[in-house]
Amino acid sequence: MSERPDTIDLGEMASAVRGGWRHVLAGVAIGLLAALATLLLVRRQFESTATVLLKSTSEGGGSLLSRMGLPADLLPASLPTSLRSQLETELEILSSRAVIGRVVDSLGLQAGVLEPAGTPGHAILVPATYPGSFRRREYQFEREGDSGPYRVRGPGARGSVRPGERLRLPGGTLTLREEGLPQSFTIELLDREDAVTRAEKRLSVERTGGEVGRLTFRANDSLAAALVPNAVIAVYLERRKTTDRGINQRRLEFLVGLADTVARRLTEAERRLRVFQEASGVLDPELMGRVGVERATALRQQLEQSEVEEAALGQMIAQATAGSLSVRQLAAYPTFLRSQAINELLSQMATLETERLRLVERRTERDPEVQAIAQSVRNLEDQLMPLATAYAGALARQRQELTAQLDTVHAALAALPGQTETSLQLQREVRRLSQTVLALQTQVVEARLAAITEGGEVRQIDVAQPPKKPVFPRRLPTLAFGLAGGLLLGLLGALKAAYLGRWIRRPEDVERAVGIPGVLLDPTAPLLLGGLARYRTILVVPLDGGADAEGVARQLAQSAAERAVAVTLADLATTAPVPAGGVHRAIRELEERYSVVIAPLPRLEDPRTAALLDETRPVLFVASARRLERGPLIKAVETLRRLGVPCSGVVLNASGPDGRPNR
């Protein structure tokens, strides 16, 4: 007797799917139709995201403890829990109905546009608040002509309205925009609580990591999808900057204002110091005084040296003029000896004198050549006096210039004490204001850190932008999802039909259903059955009225005879009822005469069939290939298993007893 397997055979599942191809095609068609219906009927939804940085008091405490030098393992164990709790509190405030309600009022989310789809409400209606409690209402606006008024249809609506005018409705007063209105449109009105509830459901607030919160809103138009999260953050920031500010935040504002005032005063003091320094030329009084004294001393030394040299040169020029000093002695003046021009004159004079002396040794003083050389020497000597006179004039001018410079330095030194006093006052003012600004900046930093720990300062990180494409329904993903869902539905239908369906049409379905072999009868091929040598009698039992048990028995007997097996066909299905002992006696007599006895019998419920059931006589079921029900087959096989009767299999016969095909 065959046992049903405990494992799933993928090959059997593939065969079941191939057999249920109609279910697969039907499932795919249903999935695609559902996807197309979703694309055509479901309103598009757009999604936009904004992020906001949330500050917590626990961070400031942890940072302070860290700055105090406490090791990380000594920090309070409750600090992370407290941080999470405070962040969760801020996230709850962001998604609270109080914040969302203000956004609904400011953006006019109580009114929405149904048609044309994807049109924001504020593009048609002026944002307004509609008080009271009422059910959702729809209103249709259709324009009369190209520039006429809009005729309004809806609950409690009367008459018509022009662009820019107000329309009084039971739920409130609508105001149409003046420009950009379509030819016809449909709007819906919600009471405030319903609008807040809808916005609350569409808004998602979650923590993304650290102290950053992410707000995601889904709307039927792209503009509202971006406006709502930005407006929620704006309302939250306004709330935090007004009602939630602490002492540190106000102290920070005071210190920032005071620091700005002192900084302006410092800028003015620095400007005055710069103007004074530019006007007086005094950058450092001490340095300027030291430099002035040194400059005056140097000028005094130069003036004295110039005066001494001028007096000495004047005396020598006077002596040369009086004739008590020769011109050549004047050229021996130390300053002249350092002059290259005078040295050249002296060199020429020496050369001429040497030449004249050589000529005098051979000639007299009256010789013309000697006189010419003597005249040249006198000419050169005459050039020395003008040079000495010019140099004396230069010394006089130098003395005058040094005297003027010395007077200027003396005047500057005389004015230096007053300038030093003014400069020191201005520098002291700049230094004092600089120290004050530095101290205030330090206090501002401390106050800012304290304000951050109080949570009084938050900021928006990412601004929500209008999305370009809807998140649902999207064409390709929706079609792919519909195709995949339909394919899965078809596969499940095919597997259900193969494993749990009412009808069994193929031999593979027989084995999957009851775990025994199944075969489709082919009249042109032999019907082989294992176990002929082990069993003497084979009972052929039909499962339904349309099964041809006799035909199957004859084909089985013919196949056995062709294998040289002594076989006989005991037709007990049409025999009149006989006692049980007579049926057994007839079968035993046939078993003694033949090797194999094939007995076609009535259905399993017949007394003759029940009487012949035995552990030594296997049963071969015959059923119609297209009309075999799963329930009777399972019931019949389970009955044989309880009785311990072996079951050889099930033969599916495509034709009935009359030879016509089963349908």
Q: What tokens appear for 560 in the block?
A: 């056995």
Each residue's pLDDT tens digit, 422-463:
777 788 888 888 999 899 889 888 888 877 666 555 788 999
Tell me the pTM: 0.52
pLDDT band at 465, cuts 50/70/90? very high
Is 50 exceeded by the pLDDT of residue 469? yes
Mean pLDDT on 629-652? 89
Q: What tokens appear for 334 in the block?
A: 């130390």
Cα separation, 585 vs 591, whole angstroms: 10
How does strand 619-624 pair with strand 647-653?
parallel
pLDDT for 250 equals: 78
Mean pLDDT on 468-490? 89
Is 90 exceeded by the pLDDT of residue 577? no
pLDDT for 80 equals: 55
More confident residue, 204 or 85: 204
Task: Centre a 10 Å sphere on the Cβ of residue 661 and count the other Cβ atoms it contains.
Answer: 11
pLDDT for 68 equals: 40
Give ∠ CA 180-186-187 in degrees, rounded to 5: 90
Is 50 exceeded by the pLDDT of residue 75? no
Give ∠ CA 460-465-468 in degrees, rounded to 5: 160
Average pLDDT, the chain: 79
DSSP string, 125-139: B------S----EEE
The one-letter code for the residue type at 382 is D
Half-sphere exposure of 155 (CA within 13 A, CB side): 12
pLDDT for 202 equals: 94
Q: Could you tell me which residues are beta bridge partners of residue 398?
A: none
More confident residue, 432 or 350: 432
Each residue's pLDDT tens digit, 27-64:
899 989 998 998 888 888 999 999 998 865 444 444 44
How does strand 596-600 pair with strand 567-569?
parallel
pLDDT band at 358, cuts 50/70/90? confident
pLDDT band at 351, cuts 50/70/90? confident
pLDDT for 65 equals: 41
User: Dihedral angle at the C-alpha atoms of 596, 600, 601, 604, nearest 10 degrees?
Assistant: 80
Is 70 exceeded by the pLDDT of residue 551? yes
Each residue's pLDDT tens digit, 180-203:
899 999 999 999 999 999 999 999
**Cβ contacts of 594 within 8 Å, gap of 6 or more:** 566, 567, 568
Is 90 exceeded by the pLDDT of residue 403? no
Is 50 exceeded by the pLDDT of residue 158? yes
Are 623 and 599 contacting, i.e. CB atoms less than 8 angstroms apart? no
pLDDT for 126 equals: 92
pLDDT for 591 equals: 80
Q: For the chain, what percent of residues have pLDDT higher than 90? A: 20
How would you label 347-381 residue by residue, b for 16+ Cβ within 10 Å and e otherwise? eebeebbeebeebeeeeeeeeeebeebbebbeebb
Alpha helices in 42-78 (DSSP H): 57-67
Each residue's pLDDT tens digit, 104-135:
999 999 999 999 988 999 899 999 999 888 99
pLDDT band at 371, cuts 50/70/90? confident
pLDDT for 69 equals: 43
Q: Could you tell me which residues are beta bridge partners of residue 44?
A: none
pLDDT for 231 equals: 95
Cα separation, 333 vs 326, whole angstroms: 12
Mean pLDDT on 277-296? 70
Cα separation, 438 vs 228, whole angstroms: 43
pLDDT for 33 equals: 92
Is 60 exceeded by the pLDDT of residue 338? no
Strand order in the sheet with 160-161: 111-115, 184-189, 137-143, 150-153, 160-161
Q: What is the chain's alpha carbon radius of gyration, rounded to the nearest angstrom?
A: 61
pLDDT for 454 equals: 62
Is 60 exceeded by the pLDDT of residue 79? no
Cα separation, 554 vs 544, whole angstroms: 18
Is 90 exceeded by the pLDDT of residue 139? yes
Task: Centre a 10 Å sphere on the Cβ of residue 507 and count the other Cβ atoms it contains.
Answer: 18
> Distances in Å between the alpha carbon of 479 and those of 26, 117, 482, 490, 504?
16, 21, 5, 16, 34
Each residue's pLDDT tens digit, 86-95:
788 888 989 9
